[in-house]
């Protein structure tokens, strides 16, 4: 079975993304993403619809909005990963995460539908990553004016989700 044991070198990403990549433990990245999927599903399936609307402060995202943000982020990072892995030399644009959440309507989407979407997105990510050989994982491109490798983007997906699970554990315990 395919494994991705490597981690990107510091010259494969900018400092901003380092905070996410550092949250990815050693080991097979595919296995880490699978275990993380189970952890995320366990957290969110334990919530009622009412609990999923919880915000720890009025100007903070609800738990549903966090889940939706994880979906948006994974989709954007994997889109970038596909383009770079296919040697697309275009400079890829950034995205405004706050605008995405604001315009998403996540709070009005049933939690079960968001969870179904999460499962589908993660399954697609895992399938795609299994198709990439070592040479493609090392390819680099530019997204949001940042140099990034395919491997770095894959690690950012895992580290970004870990970051939000940590925040949820610290600030959303009352849900």
Query: In the predicted model, what is the mean pLDDT of residues 34-56?
Result: 97
The model carries a pTM of 0.96
How high is the pLDDT of residue 43? 97
Vertex 31: Cα angle to 13 and 88 (nearest 5) = 40
Per-residue pLDDT band at 114 (split at 50, 70, 90) = very high
pLDDT of residue 173: 78
Q: Which CATH superfamily is domain 10-171 in?
A: dinb family like domain (1.20.120.450)
- Tokens 């939706």, residue located: 68
User: What confidence score (pLDDT) does residue 1 get?
Assistant: 75
Residue 69 has pLDDT above 80, yes or no: yes
How do the domains of the chain map onto residue ranges?
A: 10-171
The phi, psi pair for 63, rounded to 5°, reads -60, -40
Burial category of 143 from C-beta neighbours within 10 Å (exposed 0-12, middle 13-18, buried 19 and up)? buried
């Amino acid at each position: 079975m395919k494994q991705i044991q490597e981690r990107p070198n510091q010259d494969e990403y900018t400092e901003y993304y380092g905070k996410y990549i550092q949250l990815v433990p050693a080991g097979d990245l595919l296995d880490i993403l699978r275990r993380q999927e189970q952890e995320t599903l366990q957290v969110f399936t334990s919530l009622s619809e009412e609990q999923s609307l919880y915000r720890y402060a009025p100007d903070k995202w609800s738990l549903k909005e966090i889940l939706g943000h994880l979906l948006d982020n994974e989709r954007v990072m994997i889109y970038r990963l596909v383009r770079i892995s296919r040697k697309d030399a275009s400079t890829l644009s950034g995205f405004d995460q706050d605008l995405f959440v604001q315009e998403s309507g996540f709070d009005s989407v049933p939690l079960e539908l968001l969870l179904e979407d999460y499962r589908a997105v993660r399954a697609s990510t895992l399938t795609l990553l299994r198709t990439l050989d070592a040479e493609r994982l090392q390819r680099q491109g530019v997204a949001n004016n940042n140099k990034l490798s395919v491997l770095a983007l894959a690690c950012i997906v895992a580290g970004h989700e870990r970051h939000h699970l940590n925040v949820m554990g610290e600030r959303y315990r009352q849900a």
